[in-house]
Chains A and B, each alone.
Chain A
């Protein structure tokens, strides 16, 4: 242990690398291994490098964020900090007691009562029973579950479970907290309480390592951030800078980011990324735009990534587009939305999956019925602009729970109903019904996903308006083919 001069660090991570073995042929038994020896095949595996030479320090009392795309190594890093995984190379020094919130309710047993589980959790955290005795009231007060103290855990709803788990976890009063997106539990009021608690802990001078996709929380909480990309430290600096760099990664393909934006991290531990080059200016109104900007605007739109993972994730388009594009919660994907004027809107519902290379053409058609199709006023400055040049058939409205396959094109003025599926490579020129499956160019009806009766009932249930808690409680039904059970479970009340 190197103690000298490093007192101020709560966590030191030095050149940590971690790879996982992905065997070509899984051998999990003695028998497999014997057979392998006899047949003479050598035991080969691919090493997947989850973390490559990562170093950073977290100061005492600091709130430190780790962000990155899925698969960038965030969770692996957190697990190494929590001592669950052992690094292949490098080492981690942590001082004081660490409480990992990798998952809430670790060790909880459904057959035990709430109180018994709280004591069990305390024991897992290495606390004595007497210590837990002093905390038990606080836990049940915080979780608002006083009435359910002696209820067996198996009778808890998932929201109650999460609240109990969270309250228990925070009661252990650790010096260092590792938080892995565990904060999104319970209803809004409870979330607010959690946020207050974190603020409180921060003020107490505790060290927090926070891993999240939720850039708003990161921005609010963390003073410093680390951006991981492909298991490497891409950037480490103050939160604003790192978030800007993260946005760039999200908006740019991997190759580009490697070469263009992020300096290699071979030389120094801490990199200060330059301010990102100013976003390409987007004209507020096309009428007043200079031609050059119009071109840029087009370029920008082509690169638009309307990624929306949940309601708090920020979207990378602005001005003109944000007022014309409406995307529901949990919808994900990066469609290219071609929108030229602000006459038309794009509405995309909740829980939609939009594959890569999907294009949504809102307007921008040229006038075939005019003498020339050329948009004179928008290209040549000396000619007045005419907004009527851009033609469109109307708003594009996409319902909830819609899947649009790879490379599809959705034309202007089209309405796609809830639950619809658009096959890959389709060109949608006509409206698509609720729960209709279409494909082809132009997209033609293939079938309906369910019977007419079921669809009518699904449209009454409208599960996409539920809160996530309710969806998560019924996730097995969602992921089953049993449409009848699904309907019969939820239609009772309404008729």
Chain B
């Protein structure tokens, strides 16, 4: 398995990517947190005062959704360029090319974990209770990683051949942002669409994050099964597409 065989290389690639992202400083991380926090504040101001949603801890509710969404959007967008961005590792030497995509997804994953940890002091400040269900976070986050990695495999491989894919994916992500219950409560969704709505694994994941982090509820087994099922399918499909398309990477990069 390439992940274990090349663990040293993956570690190296992840670290160098994180170093670039945060300019090797804590302040770099603080800057990167500014974006979701500001977004949360703006949305909070707009929705709380204009639409008057009755959702307890609406600020935290928003922030969890935004941070969870950021892993998908940043993870897939950066991982998409993982093959194209390292031409010398594709054309001059053989390494399993999945490693490049894996490392970038992993780097986004670590960033995401850091962002989630910022929630804890915020919860204390805003007086939200911290429940035992928070211990399920690693499980949920790991399942999410599998989904994002599966998507990234498809995207990074296709991007080698279609260089405007990032524009298209950007638009799809924007649609996804509004289709998922990030900035509004699930109760807003009309009952007749609710079934289809919750089939979206991202919707389910965001609900799970809120359950375990904010509301202290255990997600149902069905939640885990659905999300895990999507993960397996995405990963299998992504790996197959990647394998097939990687045959001509060295010529196209």
- Best-surrounded residue of A120, A126, A127 (most CB of chain B within 10 A): A126
Stretch with Cβ within 8 A of A (4 or more), from B7-15, B126-134, B210-218, B224-232 = B7-15
B162 CB contacts on chain A under 8 angstroms: 28-30, 33
Least Cβ–Cβ distance between B145 and chain A, in angstroms:
22
- Residues B94 and A86 in contact, CB atoms below 8 Å apart: no
Whether, in the assembled complex, A244 has its beta carbon less than 8 Å from a beta carbon of chain B, the answer is no
Stretch at the interface among A5-13, A101-109, A205-213, A317-325: A101-109
- The contact of B95 among A28, A86, A102, A124, by CB within 8 Å, is A124
Cβ of A451 under 8 Å from chain B: no
The minimal Cβ–Cβ distance linking A148 to chain B, given in whole angstroms, is 21
List residues of chain A with CB within 8 A of the CB of B191.
Answer: none
Give the distance to chain B from A79, nearest Cβ to Cβ, in Å: 7
Interface residues of B in 87-101 (CB under 8 A from A): 88-95
The answer, yes or no, to whether B192 is at the interface (CB within 8 Å) is: no
Contacts known (A123-B8, A129-B8); A109 close to B16, Cβ less than 8 A: yes
B172 to chain A, nearest CB (A): 12
B246 to chain A, nearest CB (A): 8
Query: Known pairs A28-B162, A120-B12, A128-B8. 11 more at Cβ < 8 A?
Result: A21-B251, A79-B91, A82-B93, A84-B91, A84-B93, A85-B251, A103-B92, A107-B89, A123-B8, A123-B9, A126-B9
Complex: how many Å from CA A21 to CA B11? 36
- Smallest beta-carbon distance A100→chain B, Å: 6
Binding site for B on A (CB under 8 A): 20-21, 28-31, 33, 79, 82-86, 98, 100, 102-103, 106-107, 109, 112, 119-120, 122-124, 126-129
CA distance A122 to B93 in the complex (A): 13
Distance A109 CA – B163 CA, assembled complex (angstroms): 25
* C-alpha gap A31/B161 in the complex (Å): 12
A122's partner among B8, B89, B92, B163 (CB-CB below 8 A) is: B8
Please report the C-alpha to C-alpha distance between residue A392 and residue B36 in the assembled complex, in whole angstroms: 86
Residue of B nearest to A79 (CB): B250
**Are B8 and A106 neighbours in the complex by a CB distance under 8 Å?**
no
Contact A106 B93 (CB under 8 A): yes
The answer, yes or no, to whether B247 is at the interface (CB within 8 Å) is yes
When distances are taken between beta carbons in the complex, the residues of chain A under 8 Å from B9 are 123-124, 126
Nearest B residue to A124 via CB reads B9
B92–A102 touching, CB < 8 Å: yes
Is B52 in the interface zone, CB < 8 Å from A?
A: no
In the complex, A29→B164 CA distance in Å? 5
Q: A29-B162, A29-B163, A102-B93 are in contact. Are A86 and B248 (CB under 8 A)?
A: yes
Which of chain A's residues has its CB closest to B93's CB? A106
Give how many B residues have a beta carbon under 8 Å from the other chain's beta carbons. 25
Within 8 A of A (CB), among B19-69: none
Residues of A with C-beta under 8 A to B6: 123, 126
Distance in angstroms between the alpha carbons of A31 and B168 in the assembled complex? 10
> In whole angstroms, what is the CA distance A495 to B91 when docked?
46
Chain B residues contacting A30 (CB-CB under 8 Å) are 162, 164-165, 168
CA distance A128 to B7 in the complex (A): 8
A82 touches B94 (CB 8 A): yes
Q: Which of B5, B94, B165 contacts A83 (CB 8 A)?
A: B94
| B91 to A, closest residue via Cβ | A84
A131 to chain B, nearest CB (A): 9
Would you call A100 and B161 a contact (CB within 8 A)? no
Partner of B12, one of A31, A83, A100, A119: A119
- Tell me the smallest distance from the CB of B148 to a CB of chain A, in Å: 22
Chain A residues with CB under 8 Å of B12's CB are: 119-120, 123
**Is B8 a contact partner of A100 (Cβ separation < 8 A)?**
no
Contact check, A106 vs B161: say whether CB atoms are below 8 A apart.
no
User: Do A106 and B164 form a contact, CB below 8 Å, given A85-B251, A120-B12, A122-B8?
Assistant: no
Give the residue name and chain of the A residue nearest to B8 (CB): A123
Cα(A83)–Cα(B94), bound, Å: 6
Q: Please give me the 6 A-B residue pairs with the lowest Cβ-Cβ distance, nearest first.
A: A83-B94, A29-B164, A123-B9, A123-B8, A86-B247, A106-B92
**Please, how many angstroms separate the alpha-carbon atoms of A112 and B16 in the complex?**
10
Q: CA A21 – CA B165 in complex, angstroms?
A: 22
CB-nearest residue of chain B to A100: B93
**Alpha-carbon distance A127/B8, docked complex (angstroms):** 7
Instruction: Report how far A20 CA is from B252 CA in the complex, Å.
Output: 10
Could you write out 12 A-B pairs with CB less than 8 Å apart? A20-B251, A21-B251, A28-B161, A29-B165, A30-B168, A31-B164, A79-B91, A120-B16, A122-B8, A124-B9, A127-B8, A128-B8
